Amino acid sequence: MHTSDDSREYPLPDSGRVLGHPGLLWMLLAVTVGVNFAFYGFRAFLAPYAADTFFAALPHEQALAQANYLFAGFGALAYASAILGGWVADNVLGEVQALRLALWLMIPGLLGMTMPDRAVFTLALAFFVLATGLSIPLTVLVGRNYAKDDPKRDAGYTLFYLAINFGAFVAPFVCAAWVGASYGYRWGFLAAAAGALLAALVFEWKHRRMPGAQDAVRFKRPWSTPVVTLGALLLVPPCAWLLAHPHAMNAVVYTLIGLLVLYFVASSVRRRDRVQGQRYIALLLLFIAMVLFWAMSLLSASALNFFARDHVAPLWHGQLLGMPWSFTLFQSANPLYILIFAPFMALLWPWLDRRGINPSTPRKFGIGLLLVALGYGVLLYAVDYLQLPGGKVAAWTLLACYLGSTIGELALSPIGYALVGKLAAADEVSLAMGGWFFGVSVSYDLSGQIAALTTRGGIEAYARVFEGLLYGGVAIALVYLIAAPWIVKLMHGVR
């Protein structure tokens, strides 16, 4: 599993500087935009497309539930495969070759998803997920272009974060609202494939100049690339089977996370290190908060996507730049908010720190949970008291919900990965990071189960779920806000 903090030293590339940053950074940013355009392009319409194409013969409620389960399985598998992809990059291919192969393998996966046959689609989706898992080194390669003490390094990662969200912002406009809505959503996968192709061509152009391109990793051989490709093909059928059987996916996800927790409990007992043991308790408590936050937030592309389609009035009188309004454009709200508010949040914490009022890390996790829960409170109030004459709610209420989730994400998510490296034991950082990353897989699975509860009873069913998320989320947030000083003590000086 990769992190952005790599202890190995590499000679810096002689690629010149553009606007004060290494020239190869801009190539990687273009790759990042293309990859995220592909991923978020079809993610914007995946659940509605599946409901209408593969589950249309079922009763409406069951069709929505099955589509939500498929979406949740896709996300869970994507994050789980990143752990395997990170290992392959570290030990078999090297990071540069792993990313190169991943980019090219994404394209046939996306093209296969254009086929309106459920079996073929599921196999193609599984293949795309496995390819995505191999792309995990992209984050590391950004940092390779800077010296460890380069003051521009953090700014480079800020640009990387903005590139991710720029691709995620543009993708629903092109893949879903334009191509998908005008020609059929199956062709939205083709538009997403164009983004992946652009990323692959750009990286192919200069990948040999990347630091670490000639890494002699432990199991690397001349035939490593075809062997990894064959391995991915062999894994496609079992992964597709998991996507088609959500209960089996549940069992696998929770078994793996349970084994991981047991490993760290046993590790703490074996070490007989009181401080490290308490740090692992703190990490587990924050891990639970992270999983619950994302379980609520990830409903945006499943249950809330259907809610936007069926129960939210269109913006701008149903027209946007001469095109008919599409509910999938709400999927651009989160990345747009991030592009707008991330710079302000980055300045807010140091400003509060200078005044001695910067919230502790556990309190920031509580704030994130509180904000995402209050966002659902806005939707609950809208359903109960602000329904329009046609029975729908105004678009601003959904946008307000996404705003709460996004500000909560900015309070919680950026510090999570850095915290793992500080709280875990030095010889278990990579495994702990993999576990933290795998937590999002658990969140996807939980979100699918929550989303399935919204399908029985029209807008009133959504209201019941929103009510549960509001009161449950606020209660959990208050627990973290109140218990924050105790969790801080367990962290033993880590901030």
What is the phi-psi region of residue 424: left when phi exceeds 0, alpha when psi lies from -120 to 50, beta otherwise? beta
pLDDT of residue 21: 78
Domain ranges within the chain, ordered by starting residue: 1-244, 246-495
pLDDT of residue 13: 59
pLDDT of residue 197: 98
Query: Into which CATH architecture does domain 1-244 fall?
Result: Up-down Bundle (1.20)
Q: Are 213 and 11 contacting, i.e. CB atoms less than 8 angstroms apart?
A: no
What are the φ and ψ backbone dihedral angles of 457, each rounded to 5 degrees? 120, 20
- Partnered with residue 312 across adjacent β-strands are 393
Q: What is the pLDDT along the chain (495 residues), one digit of tens a residue?
A: 344 444 455 555 555 666 677 888 899 999 999 999 999 999 999 999 999 999 999 999 999 999 999 999 999 999 889 888 888 888 888 888 999 999 999 999 999 999 999 999 999 999 999 999 999 888 878 877 777 667 677 778 888 889 999 999 999 999 999 999 999 999 999 999 999 999 999 999 888 878 766 667 777 778 889 999 999 999 999 999 999 999 999 999 999 889 888 988 888 888 888 898 999 999 999 999 999 999 999 999 999 999 999 999 998 776 666 678 899 999 999 999 999 999 888 888 889 989 999 899 999 999 999 999 999 999 999 999 999 998 999 999 999 999 999 999 998 887 776 688 788 887 777 678 778 888 999 999 999 999 999 998 899 999 999 999 999 999 999 999 999 999 999 998 887
Topology, domain 246-495: Growth Hormone; Chain: A; (1.20.1250)
Same fold, 1-244 and 246-495: yes
Contacts of 280 (CB under 8 A, 6+ apart): 264, 265, 267, 268, 423, 424
pLDDT of residue 434: 76
pLDDT of residue 131: 96
Measured between alpha carbons, how far is 387 from 260 in angstroms, rounded to an integer? 46
